[in-house]
Every structure is written in structure tokens, then in C-alpha cells.
Amino acid sequence: MSSKQGIPSRSENYSEWYNELVVRAGMAEHSSVAGCMVIKPHGYALWENMQRALDDMFKATGHVNAYFPMFVPKSFLAKEAEHVEGFAKECAVVTHYRLKLDPAAGGLIVDPEAKLEEELILRPTSETVIWNTYSRWIQSYRDLPLLINQWANIVRWEMRPRLFLRTREFLWQEGHTAHATYEEAEEEAARIHEVYRRFAEDWMAVPVVKGRKTEVEKFAGADHTYTIEALTQDLRAIQAGTSHHLGQNFAKAFDVTFQTQEGRLEYVYATSWGVSTRLIGTLVMAHSDDKGLVLPPRLAPIQIVIVPIGRDDASKQATLQAAERLAASLGEARYDGRPLRITVDKRTKESPGFKFNDWELKGACLRIELGPRDLESGSVVVARRDTFEKETVPTEDLAEALPAELAEMQSRLLRKALAFREANTHRVDRWEEFAERFAGEGGGGFVLAHWDGTPETEKEIAERTKATIRCIPLEPLHPDDEKPGACILTGRPSPRRVLFAKAY
């Protein structure tokens, strides 16, 4: 059955539920450019809130922002063989720089005389163009560490696009840092890994597993990769952020050396790390329901909506004016150190029921219902989006009550998501049970099982079940997870359990 908003239910068709919800809630839509999306104001406001929080966290750890070209010379990619192999199938290539009108051909054509001397790649990631730049910026130990982040767009030629989760162009941030020693780079990779964990859990209210990727799953060109893995309501994993220790691979490819305090020339050590608008998809799939978006208050574009209610023109006008006065009176109230994000629904033709459903669809955290009787009583009805509970609150108490409700909602969403993850995390020791859990097109949840450590076994498990090793957890979800055992497939010795799941 579909919901009142016309979106399929999650149990009916989770994929269609997600696709319809993102569109109907005004988050994004498919563009006329195949495989690309238009992020609408409501969706972009959510991204701006994510940006603001992450940017503050990066700057608090000493990073600064810069911007680099979106065009990458093909020769740059060729310098790092492992890296280019990882992205070659997704690269979009610019070959010419001019069009011309050719009536005989029926219109505009690519000018064959305007062929580029060197083809340019629309950046699938920026390691190569940035490390070419760093070769000019870094000369001495005094230039280190170099801690740079950029907010940018990325192009990867995705063949199965899906709004926010996989599109041919998307937005992200990518950090690129240079360090004098392996240990300093490792400290940086771990620091950002923890920043991502804090953002996911403290801001998105999404619990994640921190871990290290296997050699098969690590970032192309990295020494090793750290990840945070979340679980969606359809029991699939989603990689919510990665931090890579690049070793000296890119420094050697682009000859980035520095003079040490002792006067020696050495290659620098590097990290890169990033999260993207995929986080919006993660957020939607972690919390939302059949009525629409459920958004954590710390990130929600609209925390509070005031809906004036009246039977006739006079009462509608009176409650609308009262709603605007109420919104102004709450201007000094703070949640999470910032003013409340409040909007007044000024629409006059729609019914209160339509407005209530519409704001539930769009994920407003709290709804204040303000009618003629409320004006007389000096109180309002406050409805919670996550629980649908309603409470009558004196108007004079709202400045204190609303931030408290938002804080409790933020906390409850994390508790609920954590309980869901724990209920859908399984420890499996028999191959038959493992294969059965991932049978069919469903998700399967998180499965902790033993693996013999070989890429051959890892690939065979993925081929048989479509479940991949999401990470080797850095901290056990249960003390027994670090005990040795036998590989789920081969029976060979395994030092500890690793995390398997089907993934987006």
C-alpha cells in the first residue's frame, strides 16, 4: 500500500520508496542530463548544514580550504598506475575545446581542428592534480604538515544512477595532506576517521562501524583505507566516509620531496579523505518512514514549522499574524548553539490536514498547531515528527521546551538506529547459514564471520553471495569477535571476525 503522500511503503518496495521520497519531499530530481541530478533547495539546505558542521570540524583540527581545477591531464593519471586502474572505467574525457555551426551536418558539430593536444579527465578524484601542485609548494620540513581540504564536484560515469547514492556528478569534500613521517600521516588518517565517526553519530544520528578496508576493497593507490559503515533500513551497508593513508605513492609519482632538518631529501607521506552527498541518501535510508523524511534536528533544514489554523478569513488572518509574532518571539531561543530554524506556513488555500501531511513528508522536526482556541488559551499544540506525539505547551514556555524536544529527538534517533543495527547484526559460523542469510535480493544485515585473510577467498565469497567484507572492525562490536576461529568458507584459521554485508 502507498502512504497518504503517494509514496510506496518501505515493506512494499524499499527501492521505489526511497526514489519517490527523495523526489516528493523536494530533495532532488533527475536532470535532463542523463545520470545527473538537480539538488533542490530543500536538499541543498541539508547539504549546507552538513558542510557547515564538517567544515568547522576540519578547521578545528588545523585544516584550511583551497580549490583545484576540475580538469586532470591524462598524463597525470598515467603516473600512478594502481590509482588510474581503479578509476579508468568511470572517467569522462574532454577531447576538443570548440563547437562550430555546420549547416550541411544539420547544426552544431565538434570542430575537428580544435582537438586538445592532451586529453583532459573530468576529475573522478583529485589526488593527481593536487600532488602535481604540491611538488611546487613543498620544499622543506618547514612546509609540513600541509593540511588542505576542498569542497568540489566530482564526475564518475555511473551506469546505474540513483539520486544521491550514485550519480555521474556529485558534490563532496576531499582532504589531501602531506606529512614528514609515516607515523604523522597515520595519525592524520586516524584523526579524520574519528571526525567522520563523530559527524555520523553526533550529527546524523547514524551509528557506524569504524574499520579498515581489506586489500581488495581499499582505495586505489592507498597503503590502506579506513572506513565508517552504516546500516540502512533495508539491511544493506553503506560506506559513509573513508580516510586513506597513501604512504609515499603519490609523492614518488610526482616527485614531492622535502629537505629534512638534517639536510636529507625525502619523499613526503600523504593522506586523502572524503565524504559526499551520498550522506544525504544515508540519512534518508537510516531514519525516514512511510510518511516521509525523518531528519535529525542538528541537520534538518526546518526544525520547527508553525501552522496557523482558521475556519474563516478573519480567524485565518488572526492566527497567521499570531504565528509570525510567535516565530519572532522565538528569535533568541537556541538549539545546539544556533537560532532555531523556524518557518511559518502562510498558505491559505490548503487544508490543515494537507499541511500536516506535507510537513511530515518534508521532515520538519516539530510542528506547532496554532488555532483560535490556542490564541484564547495562550498555548499551542506541538507535534513530534519522529514519534507523532502531541503535547499542549503554554506559549511562554516554548523558548525552553522546543530546544529540549529537539535535543531529545536527536538522541532518540541515534538510540533507535543503534537498536536496529544491533537487532540486525549476526555472528555466523556455518557457511550454509551465511549463504542463506544473503540469499535472494534482500539485504541480510551485518554479519560478523571468520575469513582466512586471502583475497581469493574474499572474492569467492562475494561471487557466491554478493556480500562483501565491509571492513575489519577496529574495535569489536562484541569481545568474542576478536577470538580466533575458522574461515566461513575454507575452514582455514582466522584471527578474528570481519564485517560482511551487501552494500550500496
pLDDT digits over 5-19, tens only?
Answer: 579 999 999 999 999
Together in a domain, 267 and 150: yes
- Do 245 and 187 form a contact (C-beta atoms < 8 A)? no
Residues of the domain holding 320? 304-404
pLDDT number for residue 88: 87
Same domain for 474 and 354 = no
pLDDT of 33 higher than 70: yes
Rounded Cα gap, residues 234 and 420, in angstroms: 11
Paired with 342 in beta bridges are 304
CATH number at residue 452: 3.30.110.30
pLDDT bin (cut points 50, 70, 90) of residue 4 is: low
Q: What is the pLDDT of residues 56-73, one digit of tens each?
A: 999 999 999 999 999 999
Q: Does the residue 441 lie in any domain?
A: yes
**Could you identify the residue written with the cell 593507490?**
221
Residue 63 belongs to a domain:
yes
Q: What is the pLDDT of residues 195-241, one digit of tens each?
A: 999 999 999 999 999 999 999 999 988 999 999 999 999 999 999 99
Does residue 322 lie within any of the structural domains?
Answer: yes
What CATH number should be reported for the domain holding residue 313?
3.40.50.800
21 part of a folded domain? yes
**CA-based nearest residue to 429, from 474, 483, 350, 388:** 483
**pLDDT, tens digit, 9 for 90 and up, residues 460-496:** 999 999 999 999 999 999 999 999 999 999 999 999 9
**What DSSP character marks residue 479?**
G
pLDDT by residue (tens digit) across 352-405?
A: 999 999 999 999 999 999 999 999 999 999 999 999 999 999 999 999 999 999
Residues 139 and 63 in one domain: yes
Of 404, 435, 455, which closes a domain? 404
187 and 42 in one domain?
yes
**Closest Cα partner for 5 from 359, 296, 295, 301?**
359
The total number of structural domains in the chain stands at 3
Amino acid found at 189: A
Q: Specify the pLDDT at position 430.
A: 97
Tens digits of per-residue pLDDT, 151-170?
Answer: 999 999 999 999 999 999 99
